[in-house]
Each structure stands twice: as C-alpha cells, then as structure tokens.
Amino acid sequence: MKRPDSPWQMFSLALLLAGCAAAPPPVQTNDYKPVQRGDVTVYCRREILTGSRTQTIETCLTAKQLEAEQNRTRSLLRDLQDMSNGKRQADGTGAVPNNVMTP
C-alpha cells in the first residue's frame, strides 16, 4: 500500500477518521475559503509549515481537484478499514497471510 505523499493527505486522512461515518457531500470545503481568481473559484487554506510554529503555506485547489483529493482520501480510508477488518491484505491477495495457520 502506498503511503500518503504529502502532509495535506495525512491531514485529510486524520479529518476523515475523526469525522462521522455518513458520506459527506461531493465537495466539502471545511477549512477552505472560496477565492475568486480571474473567472475561476478556487478553495484555499493556510497550513502551518512542518517544523515551524510561525511559517505558513497556502494551499489552493479547484472544486474538481478538491473533490478528487477527497475521493482519494475516502478510498485510502476504505482500504485501511478493509485491511483492519480482515477483508484483504495490503498486497490485495486475500484475508489471511500465507504464513498464518488457521484453526
């Protein structure tokens, strides 16, 4: 299983784990504020830079990018839940590893 690439993905996963079990609407803006850039609306938020207490970075995504990121995060969460429930292994081969004996 691939690890999340960015702090934003880890943060998104943490938000989803802390949220309720009901499926959210397709694009949920949470901490994002809509910003008009030309004729496009983007959703931006400020994040504290890793290793710093004062420096921040701004992350802006279009509605389509935000929805795609949320879908990837939901998929990752679903995969993690499936693995913890024994539905499949990280490599996708099945519920029980070959080196584990079952009663």
Of the listed ranges 46-50, 52-56, 97-101, the one predicted with least confidence? 97-101
**Residue 39 included in any domain:** yes
Greater model confidence, 25 or 70: 70
Q: Got the DSSP string for 56-88? A: EEEEEEEHHHHHHHHHHHHHHHHHHHHHHTTS-
| 94 Cβ neighbours under 8 A, 6+ residues apart | 88
**Does any domain span residue 98?**
no
How far is Cα 67 from Cα 46, in angstroms, rounded to an integer? 18
- For residue 70, being part of any structural domain is answered with yes
Q: What range does the domain containing 36 cover?
A: 29-78
Q: What is the mean pLDDT of the chain?
A: 75
In a domain, 93, yes or no: no
Q: Is residue 37 part of a domain?
A: yes
pLDDT band at 92 (very low <50, low <70, confident <90, very high): low
More confident residue, 21 or 12: 12
Residue 63 located in a structural domain: yes
- pLDDT band (50, 70, 90) for residue 84: confident
Output phi, psi for 12, to 5 deg.
-60, -40
Q: 99 or 62, which is more confident?
A: 62
What total of structural domains would you count in the chain?
1
- Residue 13, in any domain of the structure: no
Domain assignment present for residue 94? The answer is no
